[in-house]
């Protein structure tokens, strides 16, 4: 069983006095999934994750911003760093920063106090790309990320991948990770062909990496075969040296078990050479997120 680096997990604890997770509020409705009441527990942290993942052959976990609605995003990084000191998880942090704001430099400096800080995901990025309104301050923040070898995790549906490609061309030294292979909203053939074409074009930019994660989000009754064409096209377009995997846990627990998701990833990579399989399942993530092996 080849080891896996899980590049996409989320933690929370509603008892924290300063942090908020608005998307997990009792009356919150997820913008893609709708009803996610099945995961709305008081807390989900390193202990709970390891209870579910300990038999899956996973060696590292990367936490991606989750405390949406908190007054200061740096507080989440401090909390996660303390968690890692106690429990050994997470091994890397992709934090939130308001990259288009005047406070961006301060937030990035605050995150950099943690040795686990590896990059940023900012939900404001895709709406700005869609509107063609990426500000000068946002561009400066992206240059800061590149200068400090920090990763830009980008949410981007297929209609906006052209703008994402232009961003990648403007910032060739910035490592960009396409989240959840482009957040597909439908699984019909017409949508697949449009997504496939846009993904192929985006993959032409060498500084973009594809995160194969969140596979079940728009296919709740998925099978291994129903997801295969999507995963295989990611591997075909980006190549085994620019793909990585993530569980999107515990969100994808709404649709499957942790071990089953990891088994799917190993299966989709199984047609590759042994070295390529290791790259997709662990090696690329270790490199992109600068994780100690």
| Tens-digit pLDDT profile for residues 12-32 | 999 999 999 999 999 999 988
Q: What is the rounded average pLDDT of the residues 264-287?
A: 97
Is the pLDDT assigned to residue 195 strictly greater than 90?
A: yes
Q: What is the rounded average pLDDT of the residues 261-274?
A: 96
> Does 226 fall in a domain?
yes
> Does 293 fall in a domain?
no
> Does 271 fall in a domain?
yes
| Residue 292, pLDDT score | 85
Cis before 204? omega within 30: no
Rounded distance, CA 82 to CA 138, Å? Answer: 30
Q: What tokens were used for 284? A: 């690329």
| Residue 221, pLDDT score | 87
How many domains is the chain partitioned into structurally? 1
Q: What is the rounded average pLDDT of the residues 109-114?
A: 98
| Residue 4, pLDDT score | 98
Return the exposure string of 3-38: e unless at least 16 CB atoms fall within 10 Å of the residue's CB, then b: ebbbbbbbbbeeeeeebbbebbeeeeeeeebeebee
Q: What band does 217 get if pLDDT is binned at 50, 70 and 90?
A: confident
Q: What is the rounded average pLDDT of the residues 108-119?
A: 98
Is the pLDDT assigned to residue 293 strictly greater than 80?
A: no
For residue 75, what is the enclosing H or E element?
A: helix 74-87
Tell me if 8 sits within 8 A of 183, measured CB to CB: no
> Does 42 fall in a domain?
yes
Q: Return phi, psi of residue 178, to 5°.
A: -75, 115
Q: What is the rounded average pLDDT of the residues 207-236?
A: 93
Task: Domain of residue 103: give its range.
Answer: 4-288
Q: What band does 219 get if pLDDT is binned at 50, 70 and 90?
A: confident
Rounded distance, CA 158 to CA 116, Å? Answer: 31
Is the pLDDT assigned to residue 68 strictly greater than 80?
A: yes
Rounded distance, CA 16 to CA 236, Å? Answer: 43
Q: What band does 36 get if pLDDT is binned at 50, 70 and 90?
A: very high
| Residue 169, pLDDT score | 98
| Contacts for 118 with CB less than 8 Å, ≥ 6 apart | 62, 92, 93, 94, 150, 151, 289, 290, 291
Tell me if 214 sits within 8 A of 6, measured CB to CB: no
Query: What is the maximum span of the chain, computed from C-alpha positions, in angstroms?
Result: 49
Tell me what percent of the residues of the chain surpass a pLDDT of 70.
Answer: 100
| Contacts for 62 with CB less than 8 Å, ≥ 6 apart | 5, 6, 7, 8, 9, 90, 91, 92, 93, 94, 118, 246, 285, 289, 291
Q: Which of 75, 50, 55, 56 is nearest to 65 (CA)?
A: 75
Is the pLDDT assigned to residue 218 strictly greater than 80?
A: no
Give the mean pLDDT of the chain: 96
Residue of 217 and 138 predicted with greater confidence: 138
Tell me if 180 sits within 8 A of 155, measured CB to CB: yes
Residue 117, classed as helix, strand or coil, is strand
Q: What is the rounded average pLDDT of the residues 74-103?
A: 98
CB atoms closer than 10 angstroms to residue 105: 15
Q: Which of 113, 203, 110 is nearest to 162 (CA)?
A: 203
| Residue 216, pLDDT score | 85
Identify the burial level of 189 via C-beta atoms within 10 angstroms of its C-beta, where 0-12 means exposed, 13-18 middle and 19 or more buried.
Answer: exposed
Question: The CATH number of the domain where 207 resides is what?
Answer: 3.20.20.140
Rounded distance, CA 122 to CA 141, Å? Answer: 11
> Does 261 fall in a domain?
yes
Is the pLDDT assigned to residue 126 strictly greater than 80?
A: yes
Q: What is the rounded average pLDDT of the residues 147-156?
A: 97
Q: What tokens were used for 8? A: 């996409």
């Amino acid at each position: 069983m080849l080891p896996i680096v899980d590049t996409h997990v989320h933690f929370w604890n509603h008892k924290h006095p300063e942090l908020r997770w608005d998307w997990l509020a009792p009356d919150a409705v997820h913008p893609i999934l709708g009803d996610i009441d099945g995961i709305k527990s008081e807390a989900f942290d390193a202990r709970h994750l390891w209870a579910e993942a300990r038999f899956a052959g996973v060696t590292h976990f990367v936490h991606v911003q989750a405390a949406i609605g908190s007054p200061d995003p740096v507080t989440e990084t401090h909390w996660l760093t303390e968690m890692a000191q106690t429990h050994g998880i997470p091994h890397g942090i992709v934090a939130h920063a308001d990259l288009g704001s005047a406070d961006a430099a301060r937030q990035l400096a605050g995150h950099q106090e943690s040795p686990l800080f590896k990059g940023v995901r900012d939900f404001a990025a895709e709406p700005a790309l869609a509107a063609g309104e990426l500000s000068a301050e946002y561009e400066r923040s992206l240059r800061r990320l590149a200068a400090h070898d920090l990763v830009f995790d980008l949410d981007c549906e297929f209609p906006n991948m052209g703008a994402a490609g232009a961003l990648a061309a403007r910032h060739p030294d910035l490592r960009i990770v396409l989240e959840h292979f482009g957040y597909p909203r439908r699984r019909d053939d017409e949508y697949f062909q449009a997504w496939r074409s846009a993904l192929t074009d985006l993959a032409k930019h060498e500084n973009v990496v594809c995160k194969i994660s969140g596979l079940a989000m728009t296919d709740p009754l998925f099978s291994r075969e129903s997801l295969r064409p999507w995963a295989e096209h990611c591997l075909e377009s980006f190549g085994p040296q620019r793909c990585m995997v993530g569980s999107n846990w515990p969100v994808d627990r709404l649709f499957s078990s942790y071990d089953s998701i990891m088994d799917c990833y190993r299966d989709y990579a199984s047609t590759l050479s042994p070295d390529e399989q290791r790259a997709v399942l662990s090696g690329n993530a270790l490199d992109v997120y600068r994780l100690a092996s």
